[in-house]
Amino acid sequence: MTDTILLTGFEPFGGSEINSSILACREYENKVIEGYTVKVFEIPLRYKEIRITIEQLIQHEQPLVVICTGQSSRHEISLERVAINVADVIKSTYNCGESPKNEILTKDAPAGYFSTLPLQNIKRDLEENKIPVNISNSAGTYGCNQIFFHLMHFINNENLNISAGFVHVPSLPEQVVGKKLPSMSLELTTKALGIIIDSTIKHIEKSEK
What positions carry a catalytic annotation? 80, 144, 168
Please give the biggest Cα pair distance in the chain. Answer: 51
User: Mapped to the 3 state alphabet, what secondary structure does the chain carry?
Assistant: CCCEEEEEEECCCCCCCCCHHHHHHHCCCCCEECCEEEEEEEECCCCCCHHHHHHHHHHHHCCCEEEEEEEECCCCEEEECEEECCECCCCCCCCCCCCCCCECCCCCCCCEEECCCCHHHHHHHHHHCCCCEEEECCCCCCHHHHHHHHHHHHHHHCCCCCEEEEEEEECCHHHCCCCCCCCCCHHHHHHHHHHHHHHHHHHHHHHHC
| Contact predicate 19/13, CB 8 Å | yes
β partners of residue 71: 169
